[in-house]
Amino acid sequence: MSFIESPERQALRRAVAELAGRYGREYVRRQVRKGERLDELWREAGKLGLIGVNLPERYGGGGGGMYDLSLVLEEFGAAGCPLLMMVVSPAICGTIIARYGTDAQRQRWLPDIAHGDAIMAFAITEPDAGSNSHRLTTTARRDGGDWIVSGRKVFISGVDQATAVLVVGRTEDARTGRLKPALFAVPIDAAGFEYRPVEMDLAMPDKQFLLFLDDVRLPGDALIGDEDAALMQLFAGLNPERIMAAASSTGIGRYALDRAVTYANGRSVWGTPIGAHQGLAHPLAQVKIELELAKLMMQKAATLYDDGDDVAAGESANMAKYAAAEASARAVDQAVQVHGGNGLASEYGLGALLAVSRAARIAPVSREMILNFVAQNTLGLPRSY
Ligand SMILES: Cc1cc2nc3c(=O)[nH]c(=O)nc-3n(C[C@H](O)[C@H](O)[C@H](O)COP(=O)(O)OP(=O)(O)OC[C@H]3O[C@@H](n4cnc5c(N)ncnc54)[C@H](O)[C@@H]3O)c2cc1C
């Protein structure tokens, strides 16, 4: 691993910054106010090959890795327009299908995901299971060559923009006990599949949904990968999820810090710019350090992942996600503080980012579950649950 990014990666950063800069935070605010999504930006990013940089070239992707994809999302975030579904569609779903799908499944899904023409949402969270995925009750049973899937999911992002949802269930013969998951690509127009928005206090263009699967009949090839090895497949998707969550948080944190520094340099109330007061300067310097550290851990996680070391990548990806979520939430909070009353004025758009940055402490995996992971797996401490 080099700490110096290759000229290609630097060029990729510039290409994303250029595209995202043409849209900017104002575009996101406008779309949120209208209740609309970032479809134009998503489409343009897809055409430029930015959505699928991590996916195999053979299936329409850029042939890069998770490092490249996380870099793209970080730059979108730093420009104020993070594309949440990049965490889900190319990173989780694309990775799982690329690694474990049959050739036919790859042909069917990957080119469209890579070009941004199709979005695949990802559904694991259930109302009763929560963080305890061993309690998932979404169940699939065989009926001839078909699968019949039933269950409930909650907080699933972007179902309204998706053509399909990768649903984590369990097969009927593995109904109880430790999770033995099975992954199904469920088209959103399948009979028996319904979704309803969850009202959220998040000023985001991407919405969350409740899913209802009532005896949804799926063809045999809706099962992605192997029925008996799906736990490994699921983990293959969750490391990218955490790396991308870290990228999104790092980007949002950079955006907030940039806004805060600009304001602190421009605003004077005692004859000097407010940024000269250490009460404001030091917290901003602290945020800068925390964001850089989080980014470094994210890059380590992505490098390990791209190198094929899933176990080491898992530890780093969890740590990166934790550190980036904390740094980003503090960056936004401090940016609000630096702006004084303007920090909560809609014109400056920072107040709305408070809840968005805060959400990264909960999703896709909560701060506490990461601390549990590190306590148990890295430190060897006993479980309390
Ligand atoms: C904006 C947003 C987008 C999301 N998008 C998706 C999506 O696309 N797909 C999807 O599947 N899910 C999605 N989720 C769901 C998200 O992954 C869950 O909300 C998250 O994993 C926490 O689960 P929970 O809400 O059920 O909380 P719970 O599991 O009920 O936890 C509640 C609190 O208890 C703590 N807790 C639980 N167990 C322990 C323990 N053993 N030790 C210490 N503390 C514990 C948790 O950390 C948390 O603070 C999204 C959520 C949000 C907010």
Q: What is the DSSP string of 111-141?
A: HHHHHTSS-EEEE---TTTTT-GGG---EEE
The protein residue whose alpha carbon is closest to atom 28 in ligand 1 is 130
Half-sphere exposure of 367 (CA within 13 A, CB side): 11
Q: Which residues of the chain, if any, have pLDDT below 70?
A: 1, 174-179
**pLDDT at residue number 226:** 84
For the CA of 125, the nearest atom of ligand 1? 11
125 C-beta closer than 6 A to ligand 1: yes
Nearest CA to 337 among 294, 276, 281?
A: 281
Q: Is the CB of 124 under 6 A from ligand 1?
A: yes
Q: What is the pLDDT of residues 306-326, one digit of tens each?
A: 999 999 999 999 999 999 999
Diameter of the chain by CA atoms?
Answer: 79
Please provide residue 66's backbone torsions phi and psi, each rounded to the nearest 5 degrees.
Answer: -70, -30
Q: What is the pLDDT of residue 146?
A: 97
pLDDT at residue number 231: 82
pLDDT, averaged across the chain = 96
User: Ligand 1 pocket check: which of 366, 376, 377, 384 to mutate, most ligand atoms within 8 Å of Cβ?
Assistant: 366
Q: How far is the CA of 365 from the centre of ligand 1 (A)?
A: 6
- Which DSSP helix (H) or strand (E) runs through 182? strand 181-187
pTM assigned to the model: 0.97
Any idea which residue has 């940089």 for tokens?
53
pLDDT of residue 174: 59
